[in-house]
């Protein structure tokens, strides 16, 4: 089904359905006048977001650790690649400087860089009876990657966006990426669930902090999506996960994530929200 985003959004703006003519600040435009940064933009959900932003005409900078994939994604989409590690303030500062030199000050941040591990909180060795503990450093690494990496990117984005003149009534929009594991994490997901729950938890206070600057923030909680990460899983596991959805019984497509991410940017009244996109999945314990 093809619906023009402009027409679909503008029924209520009083300007004959053309968002370009809307002067009431009811929707942030996503077009050639707007720049965006996408972290984790070299792959999966981030790459789909880069493509959706480019299709809408926006200038895009891809921030990613992976230089080869990032350069390739940039060449394919017409984005700018900025090598970045969201865990390093210096790396983020350099990436934002490069992005702004190429595309101007961004108004949109889609934060997808993140990841997890799978490890039980406590294991008992069947033969020796010895207990194995979840290594503290591995727990900290995953929580830091998701929570601190997202937050450090947001502060830098906000410091730039706050200097902009308002456009369509606001200065910026942020989309963070949590996971349904933040709410129904499975066995072995203690670190990942904690990192993603931290993103959900910070969404409202950040929205409150940044509201005075005209910047909104929302968090998407994806279910299971068909990205390189998930596609590597054994078929038996994919079938089991797909069966946990209400409907449709399949993985989500990255384009479905990107469609929601752009709507969260466009719709000015969406703020401080954590929204699941998951086909009604509720994770079982394993």
Looking at the annotation, which residues are catalytic? 192
> What are phi and psi for residue 218, nearest 5 degrees?
-135, 155
Per rule CB under 6 A, is residue 113 in the interface with ligand NAD? yes
Helix (H) or strand (E) holding 83: strand 80-83
Residues 9-68 that bind ligand NAD (CB under 6 A): 39-40, 42-46, 64-66
Residues 128-157 that bind ligand NAD (CB under 6 A): 145, 149
Task: Give percent helix, percent strand, percent coil of the chain, each to the nearest 5.
Answer: 45, 15, 40
- DSSP per-residue codes, 223-244: --B-SHHHHTS-HHHHHHHHHT
Shortest gap between Cβ of 235 and ligand NAD (angstroms)? 16
* Cβ proximity to ligand NAD, 177 vs 268, nearer residue: 177
| Nearest residue to 182 via CA among 107, 114, 88 | 114
Shortest gap between Cβ of 8 and ligand NAD (angstroms)? 26
Cβ neighbours around 129 below 10 Å, total: 7
User: What distance in Å separates the CA atoms of residue 28 and residue 161, rounded to the nearest whole number?
Assistant: 14
Select from 103, 189, 218, 227 the one that contacts ligand NAD (CB under 6 A). Answer: 227
Shortest gap between Cβ of 20 and ligand NAD (angstroms)? 31
Binding mask 179-208 for ligand NAD (x = CB under 6 A): x-----------------------------
Per rule CB under 6 A, is residue 209 in the interface with ligand NAD? no
Q: Which residues contact 16 (CB under 8 A, 6 or more apart)?
A: 10
Shortest gap between Cβ of 98 and ligand NAD (angstroms)? 14
Given the rule CB under 6 A, which of 78-86, 101-109, 208-216, 264-272 is the region that contacts ligand NAD? 78-86
Cβ neighbours around 213 below 10 Å, total: 16
Give the interface with ligand NAD as residue ranges (CB under 6 A): 39-40, 42-46, 64-66, 69, 84-87, 112-116, 145, 149, 177, 179, 222, 224-225, 227-230
């Amino acid at each position: 089904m093809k619906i023009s985003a402009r027409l679909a959004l503008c029924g209520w703006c009083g300007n004959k359905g053309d968002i370009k003519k809307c002067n009431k600040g009811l929707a942030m435009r996503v077009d050639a006048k707007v720049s965006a940064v996408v972290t984790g933009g070299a792959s999966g959900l981030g790459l789909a977001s880069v493509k959706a932003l480019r299709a809408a005409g926006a200038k895009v900078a891809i921030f990613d650790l992976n230089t080869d994939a990032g350069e390739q994604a940039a060449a394919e989409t017409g984005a700018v690649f900025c090598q970045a590690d969201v865990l390093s303030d210096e790396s983020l500062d350099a990436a934002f400087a490069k992005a702004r030199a190429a595309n101007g000050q961004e108004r949109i941040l889609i934060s997808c860089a993140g990841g997890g591990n799978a490890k039980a909180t406590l294991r008992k060795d069947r033969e020796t009876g010895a207990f194995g503990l979840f290594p503290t450093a591995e727990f900290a690494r995953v929580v830091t990657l998701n929570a601190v990496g997202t937050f450090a990117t947001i502060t830098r984005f906000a410091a730039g966006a706050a200097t902009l003149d308002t456009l369509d009534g606001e200065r910026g929009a942020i989309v963070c990426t949590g996971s349904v594991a933040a709410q129904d994490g499975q066995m072995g997901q203690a670190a990942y669930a904690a990192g993603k729950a931290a993103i959900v938890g910070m969404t409202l206070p950040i929205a409150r902090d940044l509201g005075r600057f005209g910047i909104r923030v929302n968090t998407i909680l994806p279910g299971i999506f068909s990205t390189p990460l998930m596609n590597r899983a054994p078929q038996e596991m994919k079938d089991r996960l797909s069966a946990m959805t209400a409907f449709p019984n399949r993985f989500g497509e990255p384009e479905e994530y990107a469609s929601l991410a752009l709507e969260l940017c466009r719709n000015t009244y969406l703020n401080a929200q954590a929204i699941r996109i998951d086909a009604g999945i509720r994770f079982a314990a394993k």
